[in-house]
Amino acid sequence: MRKKPIKKLAASVLLAGLALGVTGCFKPSKSSVEESEYYQDLKDDYDKVSQQLKDEKKKTSSLNKQIQSIQEASGDEKLADYKSQIKDSIIGKVDFTADSVKEKTFAVTNTPVCDYAKEIITGCNRVLGVTPDDLEDTYDDYYSYALMDEDNTTFEFKVYGDSFLVFDDIPSNVYAYNGASVLGDALIDAAVQKSYDDFADRIADADLIVTDEKLKYSTDAINASKILAGIINNKIDNANYDTDDWDEYRFYTKGTVTKVQINSDDKIICIENKGGNQTFYRISEKNLTSLEKILK
């Protein structure tokens, strides 16, 4: 905090000395002023103060690096504790939110989703050369994941881009897990919702397919949509079936869910939109076999 005043004072004294030296009945030359004993004394004092400031700056920089190194090492130890603690824990719920839509928090108890969130922690690795400040400058938005285990212990972290992680309790380090953002991309309502011509187009854009047993991803969603696009003209008018026992696959597209329910025996597909409205379609045995191969 005292560096700038000292430097300014030294400069002021030097300038004041020069000003006094050039006043009087005659104007001395620049070389005679610089060679004067008074000037040399002032210059020596100035150089000494400047060197002291440089030495202090080096010491401060070295100390800051030591502190950062300690914080980073402490963070790695903390993550190791996290991984050890969460390894045998059962994650029962995950809360999701996006910085851009903080008022919309999405809580999930689905086992495959919770297990995937757990894998992010157990499988992430340290990233060198990238700081949390770098991520703040690079990305306009981020997701927050909060995992809760059976003892109500909470593990919280932010996801930047596709893969970068910053844990709330380890704010100095950056970690990465490939595909960490897929849960947020799929489950959190986007700030701006895209419109689609039909359900097949929306399904093609899904980030995640969720069942009670497993997760599937965008490639499977695209392949499924190609088959489902072929049943649009096979709508069953005035149909009303009980779908409670049908196989169900939930396609999540930027927070919007489209349910695809399948009756294999009767070869009927039910498409249920986010509002709960159901529409029924017939599907050929060949296409049904191909669809189930993708989804199961």
Alpha carbon distances (Å) from 202 to 24, 113, 151, 248, 251? 88, 21, 38, 17, 9
The order of strands in the sheet holding 91-98 is 101-108, 91-98, 143-149, 154-160, 164-167, 170-176, 125-126
Q: Can you read off the two tokens belonging to residue 155?
A: 């593990």
What are 176-219's pLDDT values in tens digits? 999 999 999 999 988 888 899 999 999 999 999 999 999 999 99
The pLDDT value given to residue 9: 47
Q: What are phi and psi of 160, to 5 degrees?
A: -110, 135
Cβ partners under 8 Å of residue 145, min gap 6:
94, 95, 96, 117, 120, 156, 157, 158, 159, 183, 184
Domains of the chain by residue range? 83-187, 199-295
The pLDDT value given to residue 13: 47
Q: Can you read off the two tokens belonging to residue 278?
A: 């159901």
Cα 43 to Cα 109: distance, rounded to the nearest angstrom: 72
Cα 78 to Cα 37: distance, rounded to the nearest angstrom: 61
Q: What are phi and psi of 5, to 5 degrees?
A: -60, -40
Residue 91, classed as helix, strand or coil, is: strand
Cα 61 to Cα 43: distance, rounded to the nearest angstrom: 27
| Contact between residue 3 and residue 53 where contact means Cβ atoms under 8 Å apart | yes
| Contact between residue 291 and residue 226 where contact means Cβ atoms under 8 Å apart | no
| Contact between residue 56 and residue 94 where contact means Cβ atoms under 8 Å apart | no
End-to-end CA, the chain: 65
pTM (2 d.p.): 0.75
Cα 8 to Cα 50: distance, rounded to the nearest angstrom: 10
The pLDDT value given to residue 70: 45
Q: What are phi and psi of 250, to 5 degrees?
A: -105, 115
Cα 242 to Cα 278: distance, rounded to the nearest angstrom: 11
Along the 296 residues of the chain, how does pLDDT read in single tens digits?
Answer: 444 454 554 455 444 554 444 444 455 666 665 567 766 766 676 777 677 777 666 655 554 454 454 445 566 888 888 888 898 899 999 999 998 877 778 899 999 999 999 999 999 999 988 999 999 999 999 999 999 999 999 999 999 999 999 999 999 899 999 999 999 999 998 888 889 999 999 999 999 999 999 999 999 999 999 999 999 999 999 888 999 999 999 999 999 999 999 999 999 999 999 999 999 999 999 999 999 999 99
The pLDDT value given to residue 101: 79
Rg (CA), the chain: 33
